[in-house]
């Protein structure tokens, strides 16, 4: 099946918004993994005074992870689906969150501008028609030495992990989503993972986009080899002296 893109994908998410959190709740470790990826940004504890952008916030699960890890941060959350944003905005937030409806390619028109200290992108890049353009936008939005965490279904490249993904989708996710009337979206989400970068290829894509200190980090549980956090940062401005530690050198390891 052809993958959904742009307005078609936003419409599919609008339709699925009412049941999205129900399906997410059936995924062991989903929320804990998002919080782990948020911690992997390596920002100062509490995040006081930091500006953080949540790209592709959906119903707000990734935003909630950021708010839990960085309760003092100023969070802007963006999504192209009005239905998803309604769900996100209806959550109880201890600190106000700015929600904006816009595709990533049109953030300036929606009044979203940098510099941000960090960008968090969960389950976003593989759904973009042009992932490189998204990364270029993120690069421009980040302050020098600003952090990026991409939390994504990006397979390891091993046949066993691909088989796990197919088994989970075919045996659970797709039958339930079809009963709920959202089979079209979830067939897209299943295929989008198979057609997207492996985890290491995603790391290389981010390096080509100009990011440095790229690390590809695994997540535990059934998602080992299926879901990864890829963390990186925008380089310091020319002539800027190092003021704080980065996220580390090389790949591997975990936080």
Hunting for tokens 């200190």 — which residue is that? 213
If 0-12 CB within 10 Å is exposed, 13-18 middle and 19+ buried, where does residue 243 land? exposed
Supply the pTM of this predicted model. 0.92
Which pLDDT belongs to residue 194? Answer: 97
Size of the chain in residues: 255
Low-confidence ranges of the chain (pLDDT < 70): 1, 240-255
Strand residues in 25-96 grouped as ranges (E) = 51-55, 74-79
CA pair distance 6, 125, nearest whole angstrom: 12
What are residue 74's DSSP bridge partners? 51
Interhelix angle 82-90/6-25, rounded to 10 degrees, is 40
Token readout for 79 is: 């999504």
Which pLDDT belongs to residue 113? Answer: 94
Which pLDDT belongs to residue 250? Answer: 37
Which pLDDT belongs to residue 160? Answer: 97
Which pLDDT belongs to residue 254? Answer: 36
């Amino acid at each position: 099946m052809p993958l959904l893109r742009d307005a078609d994908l936003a419409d599919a998410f609008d339709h699925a918004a009412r049941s999205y959190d129900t399906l997410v709740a059936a995924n062991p470790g989903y929320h804990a993994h998002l919080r782990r990826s948020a911690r992997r940004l390596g920002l100062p504890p509490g995040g006081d005074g930091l500006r953080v952008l949540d790209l592709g916030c959906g119903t707000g699960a990734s935003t909630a992870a950021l708010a839990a890890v960085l309760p003092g941060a100023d969070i802007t959350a963006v999504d192209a689906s009005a239905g998803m944003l309604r769900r996100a905005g209806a959550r109880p937030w201890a600190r106000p969150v700015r929600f904006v409806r816009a595709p990533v390619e049109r953030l300036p028109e929606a009044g979203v501008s940098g510099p941000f200290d960090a960008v968090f992108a969960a389950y976003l890049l593989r759904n973009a028609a042009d992932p490189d353009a998204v990364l270029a936008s993120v690069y421009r939005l980040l302050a020098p030495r600003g952090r990026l965490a991409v939390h994504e279904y990006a397979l390891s490249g091993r046949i066993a992990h691909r088989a796990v993904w197919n088994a989970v989708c075919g045996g659970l996710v797709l039958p339930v989503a079809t009963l709920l009337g959202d089979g079209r979206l979830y067939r897209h989400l299943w295929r989008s993972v198979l057609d997207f970068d492996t985890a290491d290829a995603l790391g290389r894509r981010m390096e080509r986009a100009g990011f440095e200190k790229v690390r590809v980090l695994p997540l535990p549980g059934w998602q080992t080899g299926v879901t990864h956090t890829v963390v990186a940062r925008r380089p310091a401005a020319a002539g800027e002296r190092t003021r704080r530690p980065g996220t580390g050198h090389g790949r591997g390891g975990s936080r």
